[in-house]
Chains A and B, each alone.
Chain A
């Protein structure tokens, strides 16, 4: 028995060493009219947000005639993204496009890919700058802040009191948005007044409680702006229960699916996010153009097909202004 095992192990070793000689030349890079292979990785596969990104990616892949591989972790193991990327490197894909769950961790694998001549594009959430060629940025902080402030002004005829509910007073990205919101307010809307900013710890029920407090503390409040996603439905529920539907407007940054009900009831007026389908489309388009040389380092604008010409800031391609979901269009989106 043991001898058989030993023989079999020897045989498989011979097999391994025999096979590695036959690694084919010339596969991998897209020269000579060969179909490009683009590998697309979400943070996690089951997430509705990324599934709708994939719909746009499929559209771009079809339009551009490239093979699209879509794979990502199905369990919460942070090493999985690295493993899949390393498998893709061996597989010899032409471009890797990834949304990074673990910035530092994934960067080691992406750097290895670049070392092997594979182009790397990140989307949604960036890796370390030296680990990728381009970052497809769904929205800049100023873009998000300006869209929120402009929408608030439009709904309140640019006058009156409003309040903000944020995730926490220390979250870096939200503080950046708040800074930009206040800058926009000071610059363009002198008759509007930000009366209070409350944290909700990224919890829906806490957001609801804070919104209820705000409603009783500020009877003249005209609008509440919720800038973290659980706070949007939480705030809407508070406004609805206080019987102030329509008198106090609700807007926020969140997923259409979580807010559809309140938007149709007229509690929430606008939900602001980007079109995830466009994000997927742009990611694949940029990946293909990075591979065939149309998108070069140092470029300042980029012809993104059906999305028009987009700005490149540094190495990040900006998708453009965020999209406003409202009663008229929210049913067209399923994430």
Chain B
């Protein structure tokens, strides 16, 4: 329970400070939150034993502990990136809300990941979804932000409904909501299959897999860039991890069914998202489709969980999420700083000739895109290799799946290279002027760059994740 308790304390402190502080004291809001979150991470990064509470409703293991640390680390990066956006006059007075809402969703995700009962799982899921809708709408004076939020909340509620409906099927056929009891009673009757599929669609929405992805592009585009970044990695990572845990713990007897469901979903997600991404001109929409296809790659690791090397597959999923966090947040950090310094410029054409005036930013962007595309020696290569390996280990029926995914990495490389091409090769008479990012963004980009370069080459990171699983 340690991460949840300390996170809860953090939320209360930030909330009270937001309530009490006035005038000059408000300036300390941001450093305080960031430092407290840092302490929270430091406090929880130490290995934790297995804990079971509330009669088995809450079950934490060392693996969930590591995953929570990874997500808190990502949130930390998001917070330090948000400085420039938060200091705008139309958002400044909402600073406290931003931190509280994000921390609330993080708490929800923590609950969701270490649930041992469908009820707690559902509460966690909702706690992670509903504040998210407020976050998406935080730029409420922008028309698109409100639209994005409406789209998000409607789809969220709809998919929650479907999932609950699916859970009633599970309950109906097993008579229990506890994961362990469920697992012992599942046999694969039609009722349970319907339950599985409906349940899957609920989480599929959170992970934004095809065919539950329709909200993604509009929401990412409309939401404040920092929130899009948060949505694309933290929220997605938590949901993917939860899906893996539940499929492994609860639906283990039905492994063949969900592996085939995943098979279809992965092929669709990766291919469709890649084909759409090629056509985008708005960088945030582009990253939305890129994140859908990345979600497909994360699912490859879950396929492997049903195979012979469950431990390796779990590790590769968590490792993938970690690498994805640093690479994707680097991209979103750059998009955000370019947007804030150039009157909301997010179109891809604006990046033509970006290298001329901002060589450092374009260099980091290149590294991050290479990492997303899976180019060595950057970390993305390692994480991609490991998920392919885990899907491959699931059996020969999945060889074609790996092949399709691999061919799709080439397509994805094409569109990542389009941005690299824009920055370095495309001529532009009036490239974006040189600008100075604020020190928070700089720090976050440094952290991300170090992560992109070292998390792969230095195998301790992988072994740290592995040791917990």
A and B: bona fide binding partners: no
